[in-house]
Amino acid sequence: MQSLPSFLQAHNTPSDIAAILNGLMTSCVDISNKLQQGALAGILGCAGEENIQGETQKKLDVISNDIIKDQLASMSMVKGMASEEEDFPVACNENGEYLVLFDPLDGSSNIDVNVTVGTIFSILKTTKDVDASKPEAYLQAGTEQVSAGYVLYGPSTILMLTTGQGVHSFAMDPATGEFLLMRENVQIPAQTQEFAINMSNQRFWLPEMQNYVADLLQGEEGPLGKRYNMRWVAAMVAEVHRILTRGGIFMYPYDNRDPSKPGKLRLMYEGNPMSMLIEQAGGKASTAHAPIMEVTPTDIHQRVSVVMGSIDEVDVALSYHKK
């Protein structure tokens, strides 16, 4: 089986990007090992602090964040990094040409109940005159990403990766810590009968989303004419992985609980990298009104509404909003 480093070399991945990806995987192996140890490693429970999002940090949120930061800071090609867990970005190496954004542990509320979590990352090109300690340096549209991916920590540890030439799947060998190629050019089925959404928020959605989901629930007796199954893992990385594996649609739409926030998920750490993966695999990713990767970011912790997955079903969801 082909290892990640040899795969990147064979596909002519620029050496600096390959080095960043290999460094990130070194961090993810460490995180995976700590998750496997669970309570034995003292990683369960809360850290007693809130992050910039106002969310209570888990111990492994903090540990994972530090593991990735330490790795990236040691890499000469990384000019700066930004984490979902921190207020401000961190400048690394003055002569670096790349910025790395990451969510160190997506779905961390699942840790204590031993359910799937993951690490999401995005790589941007920058210039030497940019101040990587300033949020403005990172405010590039998703279309500017040079690479994106996630590592899913489940029964096995899986990497889904794109460098703009399709999506490829790797599995970590627990004996060696190597990521080995499993699937090349992953493609999402255009049609699906599976959706993922947090139904507890239904009363807060816009009427267009309420109407669409109501029609999904009517199944073959409704206007969409087919029976749907609903899934919800409460971790974006798990929802997107299911879509990349067998199709589906994942939605975290705008709701009216806080009109100042256009969604729950973060554009730079979740929306953009996952959209790049979805679109590289033949799917579609939208805010319900425009492509996510075409959103012009104005804040490094900006939120966005999300409708992504199998292209035909996303188009059906968007048609309700066009009405």
Say whether 310 counts as a known binding-site residue.
no
* pLDDT of res. 179: 98
Is 272 labeled as ligand-binding?
no
- Residue of 201, 195, 272 lying closest to 226 (CA atoms): 195
Q: Which amino acid, one-letter code, is at 195?
A: F
Task: Measure the CA–CA gap between 117 and 160, rounded to whole angstroms.
Answer: 14
- Residue 108, annotated as binding a ligand: yes
The verdict on whether residue 178 carries a ligand-binding annotation is: no
- From CA 45, how far away is CA 66, in angstroms rounded? 17
198 is in an annotated binding site: yes
**Is 33 annotated as a binding-site member?**
no
Q: pLDDT tens string for the chain (323 positions)? A: 899 999 999 999 999 999 999 999 999 999 999 988 875 555 555 655 555 555 556 688 889 999 999 999 999 999 999 999 999 999 999 999 999 999 999 988 887 788 899 999 999 999 989 999 999 999 999 999 999 999 999 999 999 999 999 999 999 999 999 999 999 999 999 999 999 999 999 999 999 999 999 999 999 999 999 999 999 999 999 999 999 999 999 999 999 988 888 899 999 999 999 999 999 999 999 999 999 999 999 999 999 999 999 999 999 999 999 97
Domain coordinates in residue numbering, the chain: 4-183, 194-322
252-307 residue pLDDT tens: 999 998 888 889 999 999 999 999 999 999 999 999 999 999 999 999 999 999 99
Looking at CATH, the fold of the domain delimited by 4-183 is given as Fructose-1,6-Bisphosphatase; Chain A, domain 1 (3.30.540)
264 is in an annotated binding site: yes
Q: What is the CATH architecture assignment of 194-322?
A: 3-Layer(aba) Sandwich (3.40)
